[in-house]
Structure 1
């Protein structure tokens, strides 16, 4: 499959700071560090200070508004894995936000790791394996099931999405054809607690390029491990360019499964 543009990116210019973000900063320095496809912005507040923290902000009317859902998942995952500490979650008439403590590590798509993509991709696989091994499936109260995601597919179709809106890998399919393919996941399911958005930007590395932590766990839940793996490897093409997927699989310690990779990438893209 051919790479596609990243769904989120580092802003190239100064962003307007919402009044609610300014109030929470309390006079400390504010920097916009990430913008997602839904129109939300992540701000860093107090960089280099003991109260260094990140605030995910979604203006009212954008798709990303349920930060309480993410906060609940972060708090559960924190019992077993290294994720940001939740400091606050809230909303007002202008938007909603999630405030978390900063971790002493950098995204796998920061400048230094963009220059060393092989190392970063391998760390991405190792970090995902560590997460899957650490989070207890039997105790997890959250799901990221195929059934739930198929409902999201149907909601998108009902809202007017058509094959011409899909990525070129799938735009040749009809809606009934896509529905038929998506309704037949590869079996048996190999269940773990999945990250839910295991793309390279959501993996943090230490100064030596080792896996350190995960962020953005708003979709965390029980699912087949390939629901994460297929997209984690795919994201290396979006972020680093072609040729690095194999390092994700080797870092994870698994051989690629073309059938499961193909299915879960389609499910990701269409749901």
Structure 2
């Protein structure tokens, strides 16, 4: 690949971008690039490589996305729950990268599952419950509580924001779990039979109230499938709606 440009189809913001992607030099050196499978809002790209098949997540230098944090979380979680296996990680002047072994499933926003939204949201709910029930809070070294998230946002932005101040105090904790940290629909993988298979993108994984994940997971059903799928997700998880906690954690998500 001499030009370093790879045409890809996709959507606005996070998703498969519509414009050609510049393949970073380090990724070009890893082998043939089959496709670009994702672009996040910060310009990070995820590539699928051939021979052997691997995924490479790459982020440009200077963006507030810490792949070292994701490496640490993946390595901690991998013996306990289905997540990608880290093969390699590194950084240079252009950016940083994370190489993982591919998993067999398809994202919950693959066109197959967008066409079967009830199947997708039920798998997301079941997978989130499995994650929360499996990962041990007492052994988790990572913090995703309200206080930790607000402090990180304040440090990143040079001080508190009016939006975060307007949230007020958090509601009482329902149940502390090890949260995914970005439980949006694309980060659940489904097997071909429509069941939950694995989770990806665990860069913010940490201990928090389970509603920090549930509020975002249900939020994302609106973006990815349309209205009417929040309660089926909660039913699959095994919990009743909680409007107060949902509103607070969605506000925190938007503010941080």
Q: Same fold (TM over 0.5)?
A: yes
Three-state SS of the structure 1 residue aligned to 2:112 is helix
User: 1:69-118: CA deviations, max 9, x gaps?
Assistant: 10110011111100000001101111100100000110000010010111
Change (3 A) 1:254 1:89: same
Q: CA deviation at 1:12?
A: 2.3
- Residue 12 to residue 141, structure 1, CA distance change in 2 (3 Å): same
Q: Distance in 2 between matches of 1:88 and 1:153?
A: 28
Question: Aligned-pair distance for 1:151?
Answer: 1.5
Uncovered stretches (5+) of structure 2, i.e. residues with no partner: 1-10
Are 1:6 and 1:239, in contact at CA under 8 Å, matched by a contact in 2?
A: no
Rate the CA distance shift 1:262–1:93 in 2: closer, same or farther, 3 A.
same
Distance verdict in 2 for CA 1:196–1:52, change over 3 Å: same
What is the match of residue 251 of structure 1? Answer: 236
CA contact (8 A) 1:14 1:32 kept: no
Of 34, 40, 60, the residue aligned with 2:38 is: 34
Moved more, 7-16 or 120-129: 7-16
Per the alignment, residue 20 of structure 1 pairs with 26
Contact kept, 8 Å, 2:150 with 2:164, in 1: the verdict is no
- With a CA cutoff of 8 Å and minimum separation of 6, indicate the structure with the bigger relative contact order: 1
- The residue number in structure 2 matching 1:8 is 14
Name the CA shift for 1:157/1:21 in 2 (closer, same or farther; >3 Å): closer
Structure 1 segments unaligned to the other structure (5+ residues): 163-174
Work out the CA distance in 2 between the residues paired with 1:226 and 1:6: 27
> Contact conserved, 2:73 with 2:202, CA < 8 A, in 1?
yes
User: By how many angstroms is 1:59 displaced?
Assistant: 1.4
TM-score by length of structure 2 reads 0.91
1:122-137, aligned counterparts within 5 Å? 122-137=122-137
Superposition deviation, residue 6 in structure 1: 7.4
1:170 alignment partner in structure 2: none
Given the two structures, how large is their TM-score scaled by the length of structure 1?
0.86
Does the 8 Å contact 2:121/2:221 carry over to 1? yes
Q: Mapping of 1:53-132 within 5 angstroms?
A: 53-64=54-65, 66-132=66-132
> Of 191, 202, 219, which aligns to 2:187?
202
Q: Which residue of 1 aligns with 2:215?
A: 230
